[in-house]
Every structure is written in structure tokens, then in C-alpha cells.
């Protein structure tokens, strides 16, 4: 599907499926709402899929890999060669996220959206050999931004056709906390100093270089905050574009998606600005240590399930949520009801309170 066709296909959640799932939770022999967000997320999944049985058995991680020309500004500890090394490690199973996926029984699908060199990772969705240095020129053209988004849509459609029922997003790209901080600064109309963190471990001088590069790029290109594609093109990255597309494509195909850390949340904010209904299809796993994460989640009106001070990337935080959701669904399907054990059900007094 094209971007416009995808946007037209995205519909509101299935209210009846959510009502049935909520009633099932209320019937289970335990205090009402006592599993908190575990209940809320599974009810949301029922609405996303239109199925109150909450089907999430087949899971996948989509890992978007890309390089960013802004690394020329000294905004990272390592060079672009690390992107390619880690990307190929997705294929061999030698990344942290792969180890977590093995335990969570999830499959891993890395895709090269724009690395500076070709690897064994699939390249058919690749936009270019890395973005340009946004501190000197726009990171990409508008056509390239749209191509990156289209790549994510295509991947979502492929995973739907393969029967995947729950997706997580991950990314790998040296310099991508710089691009995501720049996009957050524009989309939230916040100073770069508030939106920029140390990424993979910058010292104080490196943080200053990173912040200054972002401020320079925004002042030079003046991205339009009302146009997420323009923001992506001028100060974003191909990996972020791919995630935007995946969120849109997953929503069009009624697949829930678990967000990872800061970078994936910025991509989510851009996707929601393109289509507000997409927000209902997104589940938040954890709160990244990047300083702007809370501001982005606040703009999305979402709270995370986990608070573990994680900041690794690759989709690791999103994958950690998979077993939690599996446990919630296990309770949902296997627990006795109040009727089964002949005990009077709890009454929900909260709904009567003003």
C-alpha cells in the first residue's frame, strides 16, 4: 500500500472487543483492576486486533538499521562502522535483543534502511548509503523521507502476511539519538538543550558538540513542526522513517506494536502527527534514560509499564514487555471466575465516584 492508502485504511479500535475483554477481566476471581496496566494493555490489544481472545502468540522484532551523516560533527563515541557490525550480528543472533528474543520466543527481522555500506542484512528497502550531515544540509530529500516511511509500511505488510500478531520496534544506527533529539526539539517546540542527552555515553564536551549540531541544523533548515515528513527529511534518519512507516502499516493491518526507547518514541510522535488514530495502536514498554523521553511520552499521552533505567536500544525494552503480556494473557484465559468458585463478585465502586 502507498502512504495515502495506508492512512485511509487505519480505523478506530474495536469497542465491542474491548468491552468483552474488559468484562472478562472483571469476572476473574481477583480484586478488580489489580493487574493494572497488564489488564489495560490486553484490553487495548483486543481493540486493536478486533479479537477478545487477545492473540499475541506469534511475535517479531523489526530492527531498522541506518547511518547518520551528522556523526561528522563529533556527536558520538564510535564511528559508523559499528552500525554495520551490530546489524550483521542481528543475523547471527549475537545482539542483546536477539538473546532476549530467544527467551521471549520472538523472531528478529533486521532491515537496512540506509547504512553507509551494504552488509548481509536485507537491502531491498534501503533508501541511500546513509543520510547527509544535517548540520550542513538537509539529512535527506522529501522523496527519500517518504521512501523510508514506505519501507516501514512494506515491512509491516510482510509481517502481517507471515502471521505475526505482535510487533516490537528496534533500531541500530550510530548518531541516531542526535537525529531523534533534533526531531523531538522541533515537534515539541522545546530547546535542544532540554531534548538532548548523552546517548551511548558522551562526555561533557561531546554533549555540547551534539547539542550545538542540533541547534545549527534546526536554525539552518527550519523544519516545519506541522509537517512530520519535513521534520524527518531535514533533521531525521532513515531508521526513524522506517519506524514511522511500520507504525502506520501495523495500524492499517490491526497489529499492536510495542515501542522501545527514546528513538522509537520520537518516531511514534511523528506517526501520530501524521495520523492521530495510530496512537491507539501503540504500547509503551519502558522509560528510556534519555532526558526527552518523558516529554515525548507526555505528548503522546502514554505511560510506560516498566521503569528499569534501560538505554541500550535495539528493541531491548520492547522485548522485555513481551513476557509480561504473555503472563497477562495467561491469567486472562486460565483463571477461574467468581461464578466458577461460587463467590460474589467485587463491585466496581470507582465507576460511581466523581
- Quickly list DSSP for 269-314: HHHHHH-GGGGGGEEE-B--SSTTHHHHHHHHT---SB-------T
Q: How far apart are CA 122 and CA 109, in angstroms?
A: 9
- Quickly list DSSP for 71-82: GGGS-SSS-THH
Q: Judge whether 314 counts as a catalytic residue.
A: yes
How is the chain split among helix, strand and coil, in percent rounded to 5?
55, 10, 40
Q: Which of 314, 344, 347, 353 is catalytic?
A: 314
- Residue among 97, 96, 112 at smallest CA distance from 64: 112
Q: How far apart are CA 56 and CA 44, in angstroms?
A: 12
The answer to whether 127 and 154 are in contact (CB under 8 A) is no
* E runs forming strands in the chain: 59-66, 106-114, 166-172, 257-259, 282-284
Q: Which residues contact 110 (CB under 8 A, 6 or more apart)?
A: 63, 65, 87, 90, 91, 121, 122, 172
Among all residues, which ones are annotated catalytic? Answer: 314
Amino acid at each position: 500500500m502507498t502512504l495515502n492508502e495506508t492512512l485511509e485504511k487505519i480505523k478506530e479500535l474495536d469497542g465491542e472487543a474491548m468491552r468483552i475483554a474488559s468484562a472478562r477481566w472483571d469476572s476473574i476471581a481477583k480484586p478488580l483492576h489489580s493487574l493494572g496496566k497488564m489488564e489495560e494493555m490486553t484490553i487495548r490489544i483486543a481493540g486493536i486486533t478486533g479479537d477478545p481472545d487477545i492473540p499475541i502468540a506469534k511475535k517479531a522484532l523489526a530492527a531498522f538499521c541506518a547511518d547518520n551523516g551528522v556523526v561528522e560533527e563529533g556527536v558520538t563515541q564510535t564511528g559508523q562502522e559499528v552500525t554495520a557490525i551490530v546489524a550483521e550480528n542481528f543475523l547471527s543472533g549475537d545482539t542483546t535483543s536477539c538473546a532476549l528474543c530467544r527467551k521471549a520466543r520472538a523472531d528478529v527481522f533486521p532491515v537496512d534502511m540506509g547504512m553507509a555500506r551494504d552488509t548481509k542484512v536485507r537491502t531491498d528497502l534501503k533508501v541511500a548509503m546513509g543520510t547527509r550531515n544535517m548540520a550542513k544540509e538537509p539529512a535527506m530529500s522529501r522523496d527519500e523521507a517518504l521512501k523510508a516511511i514506505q519501507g516501514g509500511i512494506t515491512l509491516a505488510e510482510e509481517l502481517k502476511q507471515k502471521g505475526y500478531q505482535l510487533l516490537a520496534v528496534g533500531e541500530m544506527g550510530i548518531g541516531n539519538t542526535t537525529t531523534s533529539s533534533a526531531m523531538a526539539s522541533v515537534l515539541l517546540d522545546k530547546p535542544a538543550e532540554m531534548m538532548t542527552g548523552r546517548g551511548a555515553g558522551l562526555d561533557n564536551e561531546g554533549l555540547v558538540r551534539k547539542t550545538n549540531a542540533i541547534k545549527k541544523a534546526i536554525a539552518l533548515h527550519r523544519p516545519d513542526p506541522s509537517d512530520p515528513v519535513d521534520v524527518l527529511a531535514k533533521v531525521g534518519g532513515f531508521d526513524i522513517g522506517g519506524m514511522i512507516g511500520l507504525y502506520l502499516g501495523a495500524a492499517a493491518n490491526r497489529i499492536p506494536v510495542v515501542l522501545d526507547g527514546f528513538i522509537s518514541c520520537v518516531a511514534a510522535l511523528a506517526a501520530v502527527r501524521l495520523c492521530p488514530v495510530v496512537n491507539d495502536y501503540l504500547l509503551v514498554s519502558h522509560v528510556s534514560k534519555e532526558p526527552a523521553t518523558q516529554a515525548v511520552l507526555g505528548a503522546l499521552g502514554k505511560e510506560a509499564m516498566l521503569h528499569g533505567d534501560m538505554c541500550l536500544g535495539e528493541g531491548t525494552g520492547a522485548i522485555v514487555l513481551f513476557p509480561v503480556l504473555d503472563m497477562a494473557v495467561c491469567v486472562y484465559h486460565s483463571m477461574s471466575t467468581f461464578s466458577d468458585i461460587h463467590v460474589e463478585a467485587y463491585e466496581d465502586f470507582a465507576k460511581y465516584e466523581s
